[in-house]
Structures are given as C-alpha cells and as structure tokens.
C-alpha cells in the first residue's frame, strides 16, 4: 500500500466519495454472525467511510490506515465512538495481535495492496473461521457519462493510464482469485447509483489519486471539462451516475 498517494485529497475524499449500500452491510452482518462483541479490522480504512457505516451498526471496528492525513480525518470523525480504535498500520503489517479479528474488511483499497503479504497477514490476525470482505464501488464503464469522465482523465492526467489499468475488471478478478486461492468466496453485486449536483460531481472527480491539483498545469481546463460534462447530461441540477458495489466475501 502506498502511504502517501492520497496526501493531497484526504479532505476531498471524505467529503465526496460515496458510501456503501446499507443492504449489503446488513447482509454481511447476518452472513458472518456479527454482534457487538465481534472485532472487525478495516484495513486501508482511509477517512473511515466504511468504518463509520460498520460502527453505526454497533460493531467494534479497528481502523488500520498508513496515511497520516487520511488517518487524521478518520480519527477526528470517529474518535468519540467507544467501539472505534485507530491504528497506524499497513496491509503487510497491521500491528494487530495474532488471532484477534472475526472479520477483515477492505473498502476501495485492495488494488493498492501487496496481495501475498496481505494474505499472510490476514491469516495471522484472523480468528479460526474468520472471513475477509473486499469491497469496491465501481462505475458502470458502459455508461456514456462514465466513458466521457474517463476520457477527460485520459486527456489531462499522466497517472490515469497506469492506475486505470489496475482497476480493470479482469485485473480485479485476477487479484481476488489470487488472494482467495485456497479458500472459497462469493461475489455479491448491489446497485449503488449516485446522484450529484455540480459541486459534488466536481468534488468526486477531484478525489481520485490521479486527479489534477490546483498547482498543476491545465487544472482550470480540467475542471471546465467536468463542468461542461455535468451541464451536458444533468437534469434539474442533478446528474445520476451508474454505480455498482462489488463485494467479495470468503475464507482463506
């Protein structure tokens, strides 16, 4: 996991990134027989979007995040919850005790991990019969608006090609199969469409690790391209983006 890649977008990430379907979280709790005494380790927790949703279900959550700025936002938001613990750790070294967790969750972060090292760490910290849930919000790449969003990033950002490559469906499935190589897993897909106004549409596009920053050349053109895209497809001041949540749950 690269611990500085989101240094410049922690606040934006927290404000604009989408959450995950309550429907799936309820399913996860039931499927894993979780209760207030269960211990969940949310690895690569970022600013705690998924962490908070788990805490809201009266679960005990340990958030593991290596990026100082992301973790600061996480702690400011959740430190008042007695069921919350924050740890400076990585996918390779979570700093958690052996056989200490009932469930490991990874929300929107697995593609940054060293898969073999993370698998080894999961086996170390999981209790017997513990499970791992890997979850992504994924835009519908067949949607016209999404295609045009990607075209803007392709045109203006240097890192887009490299990072987009690791988020391809084929690569995602390859990583999942490698991780659960000797175990079993299921995949559940839940519709999670997002409705944006112009501010939130621009914000979510600026929350990406490869997005241009204010000091970058062509930043104003980059913003203008997203504004024009919003104006092109929005209705009554809102724009709906097709999005699905992919959740992989299994044992190692």
Q: What is the pLDDT of residues 79-89, one digit of tens each?
A: 999 999 999 99
Give domain limits for the chain: 10-140+166-195+242-250
- The answer to whether the beta carbons of residues 198 and 227 sit under 8 Å apart is yes
Furthest-apart CA pair in the chain: how many Å? Answer: 53
Question: Domain 10-140+166-195+242-250: which topology?
Answer: Rossmann fold (3.40.50)
Q: Is 249 left (phi over 0), alpha (psi -120 to 50) or beta?
A: beta
Taking the C-alpha atoms of residue 100 and residue 39, their distance in angstroms, rounded to an integer, is 7
Contacts of 28 (CB under 8 A, 6+ apart): 34, 103, 133, 247, 249
3 pLDDT higher than 50: no
Q: What is the pLDDT of residues 147-187, one digit of tens each?
A: 999 999 999 987 766 666 556 667 788 889 999 988 899 99
Average pLDDT, the chain: 92
Q: How confident is the model at residue 209 (pLDDT cuts 50, 70, 90)?
A: confident
Q: How confident is the model at residue 1 (pLDDT cuts 50, 70, 90)?
A: very low
pLDDT score at 163 = 63
- The answer to whether the beta carbons of residues 228 and 152 sit under 8 Å apart is no
Taking the C-alpha atoms of residue 137 and residue 145, their distance in angstroms, rounded to an integer, is 16
Share of the chain above pLDDT 70, in %: 92
CA angle 221, 226, 229 (to 5 degrees): 125
Q: What is the pLDDT of residues 98-145, one digit of tens each?
A: 999 999 999 999 988 999 999 999 999 999 999 999 999 999 989 999
Q: How many CB atoms lie within 10 A of CB 170?
A: 7
């Amino acid at each position: 996991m690269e611990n500085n890649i989101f240094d410049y977008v922690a606040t934006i990430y927290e404000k604009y990134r989408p959450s995950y379907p309550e429907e799936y979280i309820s399913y996860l709790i039931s499927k894993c027989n979780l209760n207030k005494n269960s211990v969940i380790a949310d690895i690569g927790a970022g600013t705690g979007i998924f962490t908070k949703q788990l805490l809201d279900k009266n679960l005990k959550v340990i958030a593991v995040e290596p990026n100082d700025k992301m973790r600061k936002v996480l702690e400011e938001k959740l430190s008042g919850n007695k069921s919350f613990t924050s740890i400076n750790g990585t996918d390779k070294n979570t700093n958690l005790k052996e056989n200490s967790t009932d469930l490991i969750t990874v929300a929107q972060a697995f593609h940054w991990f060293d898969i073999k090292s993370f698998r080894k760490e999961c086996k170390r910290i999981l209790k017997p019969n513990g499970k791992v849930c890997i979850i992504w919000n994924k835009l519908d790449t067949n949607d016209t608006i999404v295609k045009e969003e990607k075209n803007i990033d392709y045109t203006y950002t240097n890192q887009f090609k490299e990072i987009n490559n690791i988020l391809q469906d084929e690569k995602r499935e390859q990583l999942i199969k490698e991780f659960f190589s000797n175990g079993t897993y299921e995949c559940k897909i839940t519709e999670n469409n997002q409705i944006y106004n112009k501010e939130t549409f621009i914000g979510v596009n600026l929350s990406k690790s490869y997005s241009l920053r204010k000091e970058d050349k062509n930043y104003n053109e980059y913003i203008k391209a997203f504004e024009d895209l919003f104006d092109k497809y929005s209705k009554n001041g809102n724009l709906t983006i097709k999005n699905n949540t992919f959740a992989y749950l299994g044992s190692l």
